[in-house]
Chains A and B, each alone.
Chain A
């Protein structure tokens, strides 16, 4: 026969001990939950940042390709860029986070939205002759970002130059 001798403390938890334990577990759970929520928020913010970054890079890439393939930078201002090719014309229109690319040829017109990201600002700067005989387009894309990811206003710029007498290279 096994005899167990227990004193008062060995019989079980008292109400106060239980309450303290539950309190501590609650604190740990709340801290863990907050940490988890923060991780999820951070991941979400990071994913949205990468989406905007991809959209910005896509626009820069398209403008670069079109400028290099154009015969002439015909006209433009901050929100508009017109490139002339031999048989067609490419127009970029940037407004309210939306960038449209319109390609007008003799027989057809292709109008597409190449980026639609809220708060994305696209600006075209047609610059003078540097280098001589060349016209340059500087495309700048900036947007407001969630400060949580440590970058408040990402800005990307790409300048593409086009020789007035022909295509580069």
Chain B
């Protein structure tokens, strides 16, 4: 014998809360998806722009003479390219070490702040030789 009372037909508070939690979970997941997607695209763009800035500096070194590449740590770079403006607070540093006579290793670091104020960095290294560059 099945006896149903009026009380059993209504939603309990727990049912409503569970349904709301499931709905909120769905909305939260969708929002997280968008935020992650946007953040990753922005990161990709900034990283690529920074990498090209670093590559430009490598090209500048290759076009100069061996003697013109000064040995030193964290020498500030002048990032005058227009793309530097699209990378927030971009700063460039050059570190040059003479690994052996006639051979220098240059490391270019580009650091910037992401939109979430996190410090980001890319690094490119190259080796230049006196024979290759002259000077």
List residues of chain A with CB under 8 Å of any chain B CB. 2-10, 28, 31-32, 35, 38-39, 42, 46, 49, 53, 57, 60, 64, 123, 130-134, 136, 138, 140, 142, 149-151, 153-163, 168-169
Contacts and interface: CB of A to CB of B under 8 A. Distances in A.
A5 B3 contact: yes
Given A2-B2, A140-B81, 11 more contacts: A4-B1, A5-B3, A35-B26, A39-B33, A150-B115, A153-B86, A154-B45, A157-B82, A159-B81, A169-B132, A169-B133
Interface of B: 1-6, 9, 23, 26-27, 30, 33-34, 37-39, 41-42, 45, 48-49, 52-53, 55-56, 59-60, 62-65, 68, 81-86, 115, 132-133
Contacts, number: 119
A13 B80 CA distance: 72
The 10 closest A-B pairs by CB, nearest first: A161-B63, A131-B64, A157-B83, A159-B56, A150-B38, A157-B81, A134-B63, A10-B4, A155-B86, A9-B6
Interface of B is mostly: helix
Contacts of A31: 27
Interface of A is mostly: mixed
7 contacts: A6-B4, A28-B23, A131-B60, A155-B82, A157-B56, A159-B81, A168-B62
Given A134-B64, A156-B48, A10 B38 contact: no
Contacts of A35: 26-27, 30
A123 B5 CA distance: 78
